[in-house]
Amino acid sequence: MEKDKEQLIEAYFAGELSAEAQQQLEWLLAHDTAFEEEFRFEKEIRDAVIYNERQQLKARFRMLDKQAAKPTRKLATWWYAAASILVLIGVAWFFFDRQPTVDSEKLYAQYMEPYPNVVAPRVRGSLEVDQVMAEALANYDKQAYAEAAALFEQLYKEAPSNHAALYLAVCRLLLDQPEQAIRLLENEDWADTQVSLPVIDWYLGLAYLKAGDEGQARQYISQVAASGSDLAPRAEELAEKLEVLE
């Protein structure tokens, strides 16, 4: 394929197409069979890599939550997870190492994922509290974040808990309210909790990135990168991109 067509495809996936280039791309997709096949092939590869990255990130969150509740784990399981992460990063790097530098908004969009639902409401003497948590999580799972946020906020006021604070902060972040997410995450006491501290630092870093404070974002993401947790490789990758962020 001609070099200018390859550059056109790369510009599309980098989000840098001009209106004129977009028209050219659409024309080629409609009239150039070879170009259309190459474009579809590239898109399928990238979609697969992004999907696998997101699935791996969700798995790491779940492992971190289990680690906080049960600090001791079998060494073989740890090595299996680490090897899987390294393979995934290698594949992702192979396909994306030639991409141009992106801004903070694009980095945020690339790395932001909702914290998975790892909470099963348990009876704590208040059936109403459990019902509110169950309803909040149901809305959260179906991406109705405004409704979920209202319920998590009610729950956090009536029966404060770390999980309520975390899910509320993530909802605020997904609703483009990073300042509120930052206040929640920084004001909550996470010292004695089942939520892994690298998870908190990860979302604080993303919240500051969303808010446009790249210096604070680097600080928190670097802490995650140095934590030795399952999120560390992902954070190290983001930290490197933040260092060269224009």
pLDDT at 73 over 50: no
Residues 155, 162: Cα–Cα separation, whole Å: 11
pLDDT at 124 over 50: no
Angle at 209 between CA 91 and CA 229, to 5 degrees: 50
Q: Which of 235, 209, 229 is nearest to 82 (CA)?
A: 229
Query: Residue 176 contacts by C-beta under 8 Å, 6 or more apart in sequence?
Result: 210
117 neighbors 137 (Cβ within 8 angstroms): yes
231 by Cβ neighbours in 10 Å (0-12 / 13-18 / 19+) ranks as buried
pLDDT value at residue 70? 53
Per-residue CA distances from 100 to 15, 16, 96, 212, 213 (Å): 10, 10, 9, 20, 21
pLDDT mean across residues, the chain = 79
Per-residue CA distances from 144 to 52, 101, 148, 206, 216 (Å): 24, 32, 6, 20, 29
Homologous superfamily in CATH for domain 56-246:
Tetratricopeptide repeat domain (1.25.40.10)
Q: For tokens 């149901």, what's the residue? A: 138
pLDDT value at residue 85? 58
pLDDT value at residue 90? 59
pLDDT digits (tens, 9 = 90+) for 200-222: 999 999 999 999 999 999 999 99
The pTM (predicted TM-score) of the whole model is 0.60
- Per DSSP, helices labelled H in the chain are 3-13, 19-31, 33-69, 75-96, 104-111, 127-141, 145-158, 162-174, 178-187, 197-211, 214-225, 232-243
